Amino acid sequence: MIDIIEQEIIKLSPKLFNTLLMDHTTNKNICWATENYKHLGPEYYPQEPIKKSLITGSNTNVIQPRVEKELKAQVQRTKENAEVFTPSWICNEQNNLIDESWFGRKDVFNHSNNQGWTTIIDHIIFPKGKSWKDYIDSRRLEISCGEAPYLVSRYDTVTGKEITVENRIGLLDRKLRIVNENTAEENDWYHWTKRAFESTYGYEYQGDSLLIARENLLYTFIENMEYKFSHEPSEKQLQEIARIISWNIWQMDGITFSAPYSERPRVQSQLTIFDLMGEPESNETEPIPCKIFDWRSKKSLEFKTMIDGGNTNDK
Ligand SMILES: C[S@@+](CC[C@H](N)C(=O)[O-])C[C@H]1O[C@@H](n2cnc3c(N)ncnc32)[C@H](O)[C@@H]1O
């Protein structure tokens, strides 16, 4: 039940998948970036784009969460990509530390105990000088996010056990709990929910895990709306949230900060003596540096500029 059947997403809105597969760095679809599907044919090779037709219709079971993959595939992925997922109770303890630092007190959302946790059900109180809106806007990033268990916890990625909306422990889950507690009117709820998604980021190398992470965030949105208002979101809302997700949960090689298997002509940082003498340009290529989006300033920037010191390039 934890596997989101890709066919279901198409039923929600046929256009939604185009958005969920989008890569804003290359302006193409995200690519497989894993050897696991090669046996299905050349369109499933690592450098190839993930296309809707390859994972829907009769191919709807091709992509499965790690916990439902065959043991052989799990072992291969661990060897090749260091893929070992973190159980929810550990994600919870680490996320608790982040909140302990933000709130200046322990156990804000739950008490962790015996490889589990007990949710605190009272409304969350904010420290002096910080509002619930500041919490929604404070940015969070899960590096090498796999299926994004630190961001959303619809299920335990290790045991596969489902987790109810009230008991979730991800960084985005916590923001959405705060929105649920502090808004009553639906337009207001949607406004702050969108901002919660806008301030939540993650990147991952392998395309199938990345797509599952994106689906998990989208379904977290749907499930929270059903929890709060007992109805599904509109198609327009689904599209808007999917667009934010497609920017914020992006495909990147975390070592080079570039899109896997991407290529562009090499950008010369300095003119050489040969350029000055009019020699033909080099036809060397380089991987494309990943772009992310700052929703508050409404600008895209290269991720690596944040590592290098925060200079931004307007799109
Ligand atoms: C140990 S798993 C952790 C996944 C998830 N954060 C969790 O805690 O369950 C490591 C993840 O890093 C990804 N990965 C491996 N090499 C990477 C790279 N160069 N850039 C980005 N992600 C990478 C793998 O595909 C895998 O999903």
pLDDT per residue as tens digits for the range 85-132: 899 999 999 999 999 999 999 999 999 999 999 999 999 999 999 999
pLDDT, one tens digit per residue, over 9-32 is 888 888 899 999 999 999 999 999
**What's the pLDDT score for residue 281?**
60
Mean pLDDT of 274-291: 77
User: Which is higher by pLDDT, 125 or 157?
Assistant: 125
Confidence of residue 307 (pLDDT cuts 50, 70, 90): confident
What 3-state class would DSSP assign to 299?
A: strand
Q: Virtual CA dihedral for 78, 81, 87, 91, nearest 10 degrees? A: 160
CA of 210 to the centre of ligand 1 (A): 10
Judge if the beta carbon of residue 146 lies within 6 A of ligand 1.
Answer: yes
Higher local confidence (pLDDT), 8 or 91: 91
Q: Of 21-30, 217-226, 276-285, where does mean pLDDT reach its minimum?
A: 276-285
Instruction: Sketch the domain layout of the chain as residue ranges.
Output: 6-81, 88-258
Indicate the SS3 state at residue 251: strand
Among 63, 142, 205, 252, which residue has the most ligand 1 atoms within 8 Å of its CB, making it the best to mutate? 205
Q: What is the pLDDT of residue 187?
A: 98
**pLDDT at position 272, please?**
60
Higher pLDDT residue, 185 or 266?
185
Residue 51: the pLDDT is: 95
Give one DSSP letter per residue of 57-96, joined into a string: GGGTTSS--GGGS-HHHHHHHHHHH---PPPHHHHHHHHH
**Do residues 140 and 131 touch, judged by C-beta distance below 8 A?**
no
Take atom 1 of ligand 1 and give the residue whose Cα is closest. Answer: 84
**Is 74 near ligand 1, meaning CB less than 6 Å away?**
no
Q: Which residues contact 200 (CB under 8 A, 6 or more apart)?
A: 139, 140, 151, 171, 172, 175, 217, 248
DSSP alpha helices (H): ranges in the chain?
A: 6-12, 16-20, 52-55, 71-81, 88-103, 132-137, 171-182, 186-198, 207-229, 235-248, 273-276, 303-308
Measured between its terminal Cα atoms, the distance across the chain in Å is: 40
Q: How confident is the model at residue 70 (pLDDT cuts 50, 70, 90)?
A: confident
When computed from its CA atoms, the radius of gyration of the chain, rounded to whole angstroms, is 21
Alpha-carbon span 187 to 249, nearest angstrom: 25
Question: 83 CB less than 6 Å from ligand 1?
Answer: yes
Residue 6 confidence class, pLDDT cut points 50, 70, 90: confident
- Could you give the maximum distance between any two Cα atoms of the chain, in Å? 72
Average pLDDT, the chain: 92
Mean pLDDT of 223-232: 98
The atom of ligand 1 lying closest to the CA of 91 is 8
Burial of 290 (0-12, 13-18, 19+ CB in 10 A): buried
Give the CA angle between residues 34, 39, 40 to the nearest 5°.
95
Confidence band for 314, pLDDT divided at 50, 70 and 90:
very low
Task: List CB contacts of 224: < 8 A, sequence separation 6 or more.
Answer: 165, 176, 180, 193
Which atom of ligand 1 lies at the shortest distance from residue 142's CA? Answer: 6
pLDDT in tens, 188-207: 999 999 999 999 999 999 99
What pLDDT score does 13 carry?
A: 87
Q: Using a cut of 0.85, tell me whether the model's pTM lies above it.
A: yes
81 lines ligand 1 (CB under 6 A): yes
pLDDT band at 145 (very low <50, low <70, confident <90, very high): very high
- What is the band of 274 on the pLDDT scale with cuts at 50, 70, 90? low
Tell me the three state secondary structure of residue 256.
Answer: coil
146 within 8 A of 66, measured Cβ to Cβ: yes
Of all protein residues, the one whose alpha carbon is nearest to atom 12 of ligand 1 is: 144
Q: Given a cut of 90, is residue 225 above it in pLDDT?
A: yes
Q: Ligand 1: does its nearest atom lie under 6 Å from the Cβ of 86? A: yes
